[in-house]
Amino acid sequence: MQAAQTPASKLRFVTPDKESSMNTLSQEEEFEQICSRELLTEKAADIEKTISVKKHERERYDIDPTMLHENHFWNRRPDGIVINTNHPTLYILEFKRSPDRNEDFLRVKEDEANEQHKRIIEALKAAAPEWTFEHTNFVAGRRGAVVEDDFYNKLERLNIQAGETDKILAAHVQCLCEAHDTVMRSYYQQLHGLSGADATTSMEHIEEQVYA
């Protein structure tokens, strides 16, 4: 996406290729402009204390329970971070797949993604109140269904050039369909004990049932 931004864009994709832990992200130069690691650690620990944890996790940190809360925060892994230091704004990116037979799949996965990264947003707001922090979630069905208006609006928010949005959507849908196809092939290989060309032939024979 970064390569498709408008030439005048001031947004920087801090994680252009893969998700990273908050621990790794905090070491980026742009991230350090938001707040100090020490301050964010303090605010995050206060927020993480309010979340229940499993007994075996508590037992590992009996000597220093504060370390448990800090580690919880620093191990959180958003799919991406985009920062605009000119207009202090940080976008947390999350990509979600959903069963697309449910017409309400966009809202359901939007809520799930927002809840997933709510603690990150809360900690950042507490540590850097002068900044704006926003969720930007891209949701698609497992078989390639996408709410186009929602998808395009979010690309526009990230300063993606108008001439590139259709290409990005097409590539996104293709990746989803290929992933779905891989899952289905694996399923039928296991179900029928087939492999390679035999599995492909079997799927062609039962295409109507698989993709109905």
**154/174 same-domain check:** no
pLDDT value for 130: 96
Residue 172 shares a structural domain with residue 72? no
**Average pLDDT of the chain?**
80
Domain extent, residue 177, equals: 162-212
Name the domain boundary from 128, 143, 160: 160
pLDDT at residue 62, rounded to an integer: 56
- Do 156 and 191 reside in the same domain of the chain? no
- The pLDDT tens digits of the residues spanning 94-106 come to 988 877 666 678 8
Locate all alpha helices (DSSP H) within 75-143, ordered by sequence: 105-116, 118-127
Q: Are residues 184 and 125 in the same domain?
A: no
> Among 144, 160, 176, which residue terminates a domain?
160
In the predicted model, is pLDDT for residue 77 greater than 80? yes
Q: For 25-74, what is each residue's pLDDT tens digit?
A: 888 888 888 999 999 999 999 999 887 666 655 555 555 667 888 888 99
DSSP secondary structure code for residue 80 in this structure? E
Q: Is the pLDDT of residue 195 over 60?
A: no
30-35 CB contacts, 8 Å cutoff, 24+ apart: 30/83, 30/85, 31/81, 31/83, 33/85, 34/83, 34/88, 34/90, 34/124, 34/127, 34/128, 34/131, 35/124, 35/127, 35/128
Interatomic CA distance for residues 186 and 127, integer angstroms: 46
Residues 148 and 167 in one domain: no
User: Which residues are paired to 90 by β-bridges?
Assistant: 83, 133
Same domain, 145 and 176: no
Domain total for the chain?
Answer: 2
**pLDDT per residue as tens digits for the range 138-165:** 888 766 678 888 888 989 988 888 888 8
Asked if 60 and 34 count as a contact pair (C-beta separation under 8 A), the reply is: no
Q: What is the predicted pLDDT for the residue at 210?
A: 40
Report the SS3 class of residue 84.
strand
